[in-house]
Each structure stands twice: as structure tokens, then as C-alpha cells.
Amino acid sequence: MLAALLLLALSPQEQEIPAPDKPGRTSERLTIPNERWPIYSELHRANADLSAPLLVLFHQARSSKGEYRPIVPHLLDLGYACLAVDLSCGRESRDVKNQTAKIAAGRGFNPSYLDGLADMRVALTFAHEKNRGPVLAWGSSYSAALALVVAAENPDLVDGVVAFSPGEYFTALGKSANWVQETAKGVHQPVLLCSARGEEKEWRAIFDVIPSTAKTSFLPEGAGTHGSSALWEENAEHEQYWKAVETFLAASFPVPPPPPSSGEAPK
């Protein structure tokens, strides 16, 4: 569907991507065409292997793809590819402004959390166009809840889910108080659910109804942090969260061995 669409040029106001810090890594800014507004993103690869799992990274409210700037380098160290996405509902994170939200507002739209669903489907479809390996939906706060919804409703787009601090965030937008919980009954993919310790009540009922045989949850020993920013180095329990993420990814979505270098016979 998106294969025939051309990538558009990125606005010059966007902050530069840090240069790749290790040989073989690549980073590029991409704009995914969409009916109402373009979706701005950053694609990072540890190497040229398109069979490595691709993690599609969605931010929390009032945020941007900058939320993942401190997280992507470690995921690349693990061998995963990353597509960090600006959803249409957001502002900025770590001095990276949300370009999708800016363009949507400039066109007269006022996107809500629920507009993120369509954005996420477009981004995940695009991710499948760019990758041969598994594609995971990784969400933070409201987008974590939507990642579970997309996994249930569009299983062809989502091979697995990493959800940081999901919850029933959509009652003010007309959804029932257990909309995510009811929808999550259709999630059969591997799932990791993490949150701050005090947030367990927000997602436990959702987690319990997920029928996946490869689901796991994590709470830190201390208070923890809301959303994917729990993995930022400045947050006290970040190493605990990273261990949970690494364990889940290694078990359900291991990185394939690197292809043989030129002139080396395959083993």
C-alpha cells in the first residue's frame, strides 16, 4: 500500500539526528506520507541486515520521537533496528519538537489521543515495507495502550508489543472505561508490559485478559517512572527496566546472527 508512495523532505526546523557512533550504523530522517498529515520519523539500524527485528517507537502525551533519543543507542547495541515516530498528538521531548503535530495543527487539525491509532497503523505498515524481520509496536503511556489495540485489531501489522504504562486513557474521548481491556482479549502476540510501581492498578486488568502465552510484566523495586522514559539513564531504576526489556526481546525476538562478511564462507 505504501510501497508506491514517495518519501517527502523533512522540515529544516527539525533537530539533527546525532551521527552514528559506531561503524555500520545508519540513521535517516523519513517522512511517511499519510492522508491528513505526514508522519515524521527517524529510522536507525545497527547494520544492513533487514531481517533484524524492527522496533517502532511511539511516544507519550505532549512528547515527541525525542523521547527515544537516549534509548535508541542501547537498542542498536543489542542489534535491533528502530523507527522512532512523531504521532499527531504531542509537543516535544528532550528539545526535539513533534513535527507531525506541528504540521497537523498548521493544517487546522486538533488531533486527539485516538488519532494516534491511524498514525500508528500507517507507521507500522511502513515499517513492514522497510523490513524483512519482525515488527514490534513499542508504546509509552497512551500509545502503549494503543499499541495493544493495534496488536489486537491488526495482527498482521504487529508481531509483538512493548508497552510502558498503558491504561484506560480514552473515556473523555467516548471510549468505555474498559475499552483497552476488552480489546486486549485479542492480543495473541508476545507482550512485555512495564510501568512505575504505583501504576499497576491502571493495567493489571488489561494484562490479565491478554491470551498470549508469551506475555510478561515488570515492576521495579522502587517507585519507578511513567512511560518509556523509565529507561533514561537519569532515572534510578533504569537498569532494572533495561534488564526486563532485554530478557523479553532475547526470548521472543532474538537478533539473527550477523551475515558473513565479504569473502567469508557461511557457517
**C-beta of residue 120 within 8 angstroms of C-beta of residue 158:** no
pLDDT for the residue 13: 45
Say whether domain 26-252 belongs to CATH 1.20.1260.10: no
Q: Could you count the other beta carbons within 10 Å of the beta carbon of residue 38?
A: 22
Confidence of residue 233 (pLDDT cuts 50, 70, 90): very high
Percent of the chain beyond pLDDT 90? Answer: 86
Strands 135-140 and 160-164: parallel
Closest CA to 57 of 73, 37, 36: 73
The predicted structure's pLDDT at residue 196: 98
**Averaged confidence pLDDT in the chain:** 91
DSSP-derived secondary structure for the chain = --TTSPPPPPPTTSPPPPPPSSTT-EEEEEEE--SSS-EEEEEEESSS-TTS-EEEEE--TT--GGGGTTTHHHHHHTT-EEEEE--SS--EETTEE-HHHHHHHHTT----TTHHHHHHHHHHHHHHHH-SS-EEEEEETHHHHHHHHHHHH-TTT-SEEEEES-----GGGT--TTHHHHHGGG--S-EEEE--GGGHHHHHHHHHH---SSEEEE--SS---SSGGGGSTTSTTHHHHHHHHHHHHHHHSPPPPPPPPTTPPP-
Q: Name the pLDDT band for 15 (thresholds 50, 70, 90).
A: low
Task: Name the least confident of 18-27, 59-68, 178-187.
Answer: 18-27
Is the pLDDT assigned to residue 107 strictly greater than 90? yes
Q: How far is CA 23 from CA 19, 47, 72, 77, in A?
A: 11, 8, 16, 12
The tens digit of pLDDT for each residue in 116-144 reads 999 999 999 999 999 999 999 999 999 99
- Closest C-alpha to 184, from 153, 228, 223, 141: 153
